[in-house]
Amino acid sequence: MRASRAHAMSGVVRVPGDKSISHRALMFGGMATGSLKITGLLEAEDVLNTAAAMRAFGAQIDRQDDGSWRVAGCGVGGLSEPTAPLDFGNAGTGTRLIMGVIAGHDMTVKLIGDASLSRRPMGRVLGPLKSMGLEVLEGDRDTLPLTIRGSASLVPIEYKLPVPSAQVKSAILIAGLMARGETTVLEAEATRDHTERMLRYLGADVQTEKRDGLTAITVTGDAELVGRDIIVPGDPSSAAFLVAAAVIVPGSDVTVEGVLINKTRSGLYTTLQEMGADVVFLNDRDEGGERIADIRARSSVLRGVVVPPERAPSMIDEYAVLAVVAAFADGETRMQGLAELKVKESDRLAATADGLAANGVTARVDGNDLIVTGAATVTGGGLVATHLDHRIAMAFLTLGLATEAPVTVDDAGIIATSFKEFGSLMGSLGATFEPAKGLSS
């Protein structure tokens, strides 16, 4: 697919539901007693794969005529062994969190995924879960395909995260629901807290406290989750591309309604404001235990900044599109502490630097840092290798909206894994995308 220079982007839109919350709503709904309604669920491939997995475990999950989803759960510890492998496609979050679900059940499950997911390491999740009682039948293997066996007698643990990871934390806490006693995760840096928030909302005993400079999150086992309706707010990682486009395309004025602005997810917007971007939160409110707002973004004169490593957990999925914005900033933008990007759907750190270089932007990787030198105009005209990474595809299509020459990505089909409405929403705001001959659109 090819993106061409846009005129002013303008309009008011709403992005699909948050992917992280959508995964958890389906899983926890399937583990709850009784039924619940989910409104605003993200209907992307990654989330639909999680829905299919929970159905395979015995939960009843159905889409309603009004677009909401109804989930009838089996209770904590009450899921059944699936009769076939669970295929998670490209969904790293779904795969890692489901390992926590499986850990507390006496069942054997095979997990499979696409080529990209099958290269991604699972060892950081498997390690603590194995100490609780999970078995990996392939021994020390830590990539898909994997066959794992859970236990009805999980051992509670206290585990300090070696690196910030909401997925690892969540998998342990989910398993802790089914352990006898208290399971605690210690983190030095704040990570996404959607698991804690939703488990509390559904009735689990989850406590958070400071302990020796760390944050301790403790879940009490033998838990019960009660079915309560869940509203999924707009995904800030999806909104990021629309906001970025408005900031870099001259004359733009875009509002994205109902976006999640949980402080563990808003690092990109903080950074954009530091760069001088005209990005503001309007109608700030609480909904279903989460903070949401309407985000208004207008074209801006930008300056380079240093993005500290401690901010990475709150914007780990947004660095590729931030790098695109940095290409138009005055001076150098240094994004620090990005080791986690090397084990995303692709080596996202290298893929971002390569994509920028292919379009005339000065960019380099220095250890775990990404350094981008901006300019008043960006040449564009390059072909970007996405490496089966949806966020690389969307970031560089966004770049093409403000470059002198069109920007082409080698595979736009992968975008459907998380944000299938990307093209139509961008188009409604004034973007021009068109198929590129011989490439996946």
114 counts as catalytic: no
Cα distances (Å, whole numbers) of residue 11 to 312, 380, 402: 30, 25, 17
Q: What's the number of CA atoms in the CB half-sphere (13 Å) around residue 219?
A: 30
Cα 167 versus chain centre, distance: 10
Asked if residue 257 lies in contact with residue 310, where contact means CB atoms within 8 angstroms, the answer is: no
Q: Where are the beta strands (DSSP E) in 299-385?
A: 306-307, 332-335, 362-366, 369-373, 383-384
Q: For helices 390-399 and 422-429, what crossing angle results, to 10°?
A: 20
Which tokens sit at 191?
Answer: 């990570």
C-alpha span between 148 and 125 (Å, rounded): 12
C-alpha span between 304 and 70 (Å, rounded): 46
Which tokens sit at 79?
Answer: 């899921």
C-alpha span between 382 and 334 (Å, rounded): 23
The residue from 46, 87, 317, 410 that is catalytic is: 317
Helix (H) or strand (E) holding 129: helix 123-132
For residue 260, the cross-strand partners are: 292
C-alpha span between 262 and 193 (Å, rounded): 9
The radius of gyration of the chain's CA atoms, rounded to the nearest angstrom, is 21
C-alpha span between 78 and 35 (Å, rounded): 14
Which tokens sit at 21?
Answer: 């919350």
> Which residue's structure tokens are 């709850």?
32
Helix (H) or strand (E) holding 146: strand 146-149
C-alpha span between 371 and 159 (Å, rounded): 34
Query: In terms of Cα–Cα distance, which of 414, 438, 406 is closest to 91?
Result: 414
Asked if residue 89 lies in contact with residue 417, where contact means CB atoms within 8 angstroms, the answer is: yes
Query: In terms of Cα–Cα distance, which of 107, 111, 94 is closest to 171?
Result: 94
Asked if residue 279 lies in contact with residue 304, where contact means CB atoms within 8 angstroms, the answer is: no
Positions marked active-site: 317
